[in-house]
């Protein structure tokens, strides 16, 4: 049975996050603990020693400590966690948007690694890896029995080092042996194309490269379609789990001439940070109409973008209720290259509303039917369903989230089709085009 999980070759991107990075001396001083706290810590130390001395099999000390830390953080909310050195490095690779690898998008099927597609001009593509290939062995080791993450980890490595893949290919009478030399793989955070008279841009995640990739997409679309022929743009944020807060602000800024994009508010009522668009005469798409697509897979940083553009009446949002993660995680470096991912603030849209546990409500709801093989499965994703989530100020019993599914073939994508019909005037709705004079702002 196929597991519905695919990884770009850096491994899974950070799940549902808006992150800010903090650099400086690890282990910054915290508030002094009271005497009662130290008593509780003494109890913890006692239990730790008794487990080490008396558990039926000798436990791993490092694992005990890491699990104890993660247990403490998990009791706060689902998004705070401790990252050991390896996990912290993974996070840095993912947010950077480039890594040493082969350049293939993969999934797990029938206990083998299946190649979804090789990325153009990467070592895998040049070595002859094809979409649909099954990787049976990695450097002579059987893939069966490995998790997808384990297999991906084995295929990563330093640039200019070789790796031997044993491939099973339909139509081939015997396994194919390929040697691939790892190289720097730059992951495109923005995929784009021209749909006749419409520019389509899909942001897959918010990494350090997202804004630059977006600008490249806009400029390329402008060159391909004359301004008088271009009806507008579709910005697809579906299945986008989030990423870097500053990139969400930059992306929003690209489509705005002025106005607040987002504010973050910490524990102290005075701890409010506001992010505004840079004042300008015209935005990066020359004021062309734009539709933003969201669904239950649109979370955090992608909700910042959708919420800002919706509140300022720059776009019409089409799709279904977004995930509803309105918290910001700060990455704090620790000793031995580990890091703490800690929820330090909640973010608010320009209207002053919290998305936490609520999500972005589309201006036009368009449901996407599931194909027969997925019917009966619950693909709904939402922050409000997560155990221990922070209850949002505007959260209701309705909760957040919706189905997180996008058809692989655009011909079956009802949400995209609806957006294009709006832009071409084949459908009409009171919310399109939006009126910037009716922007909803926090007074």
**Structure tokens given for 204:** 């897959």
Helix (H, G, I), strand (E, B) or coil at 39: helix
The residue assigned the tokens 């972005």 is 360
Q: What are residue 4's phi and psi, to 5 degrees?
A: -80, 70
> Catalytic annotation on 300?
yes
Q: What angle in degrees, to the nearest 10, is found between the helix axes of 245-254 and 210-224?
A: 20
Question: Can you tell me the distance from the alpha carbon of 194 to that of 204, in angstroms, rounded to the nearest whole number?
Answer: 17
Closest among 167, 179, 166, 185 to 102, alpha carbons compared: 185
Selected catalytic residue, list 209, 325, 353, 358: 325
Cα distances from 168 to residues 2, 294, 334, in angstroms, run 17, 37, 43
Residue 113: both structure tokens together:
């690694």
Beta-sheet pairing, 242-244 with 17-21: parallel
The answer to whether 87 and 108 are in contact (CB under 8 A) is no
Distance, CA of 353 to CA of 321 (rounded, Å): 15
Query: Which of 263, 300, 302, 402 is an active site residue?
Result: 300
Phi, psi angle pair for 243, to nearest 5°: 145, -135
- Assign 3-class secondary structure to 226-256: CCCCCCEEEEECCCCCEEEHHHHHHHHHHCC
Q: Which of 77, 311, 363, 413 is catalytic?
A: 311
In whole angstroms, what is the distance from residue 153 CA to residue 65 CA?
24
Phi, psi of 164 (to 5 degrees): -105, 125
Rg (CA), the chain: 24
Residues classed as catalytic: 300, 311, 325
């Amino acid at each position: 049975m196929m597991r519905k999980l695919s990884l770009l070759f850096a491994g899974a991107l950070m799940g549902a996050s808006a992150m800010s990075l903090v650099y400086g001396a690890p282990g910054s001083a915290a508030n002094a603990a009271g005497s009662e706290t130290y008593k509780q810590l003494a109890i913890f130390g006692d239990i730790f020693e008794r487990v080490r001395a008396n558990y039926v099999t000798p436990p791993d000390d490092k694992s005990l400590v890491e699990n104890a830390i993660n247990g403490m953080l998990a009791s706060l909310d689902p998004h705070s966690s401790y990252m050991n050195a390896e996990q912290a490095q993974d996070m840095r690779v993912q947010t950077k948007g480039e890594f040493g690898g082969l350049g293939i998008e993969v999934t797990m099927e029938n206990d083998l690694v299946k190649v979804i597609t090789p990325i153009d001009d990467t070592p895998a593509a040049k070595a002859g890896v094809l979409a649909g290939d099954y990787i049976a062995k990695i450097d002579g080791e059987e893939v069966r029995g490995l998790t997808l993450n384990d297999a991906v980890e084995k295929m990563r490595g330093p640039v200019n080092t070789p790796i031997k893949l044993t491939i099973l290919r339909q139509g081939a009478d015997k396994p194919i042996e390929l040697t691939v030399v790892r190289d720097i793989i730059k992951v495109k955070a923005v995929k784009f194309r021209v749909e006749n008279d419409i520019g389509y841009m899909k942001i897959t995640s918010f990494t350090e490269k997202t804004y630059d990739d977006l600008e490249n997409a806009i400029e390329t679309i402008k060159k391909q379609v004359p301004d008088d022929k271009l009806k507008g743009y579709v910005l697809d944020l579906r299945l986008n789990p989030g990423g870097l807060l500053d990139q969400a602000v930059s992306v929003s800024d690209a489509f705005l001439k002025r106005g607040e994009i987002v504010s973050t508010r910490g524990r102290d009522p005075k701890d409010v940070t506001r992010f505004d668009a840079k004042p300008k005469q015209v935005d990066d798409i020359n004021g062309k109409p734009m539709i933003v697509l969201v669904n239950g897979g649109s979370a955090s940083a992608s909700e910042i973008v959708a919420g800002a553009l919706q509140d300022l009446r720059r776009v019409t949002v089409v799709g279904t209720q977004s995930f509803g993660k309105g918290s910001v995680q700060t990455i704090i470096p620790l000793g031995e290259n580990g890091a703490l991912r800690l929820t330090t603030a909640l973010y608010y849209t320009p209207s002053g509303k919290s998305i936490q546990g609520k999500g972005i409500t589309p201006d036009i709801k368009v449901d996407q039917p599931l194909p027969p093989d997925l019917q009966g499965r619950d693909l709904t994703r939402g922050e409000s369903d997560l155990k221990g989530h922070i209850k949002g100020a505007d959260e209701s019993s309705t909760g957040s989230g919706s189905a997180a599914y996008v058809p692989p073939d655009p011909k079956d994508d009802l949400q995209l089709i609806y957006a294009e019909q709006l832009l071409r005037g084949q459908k009409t709705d009171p919310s399109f085009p939006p009126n910037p004079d009716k922007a909803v702002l926090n007074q």
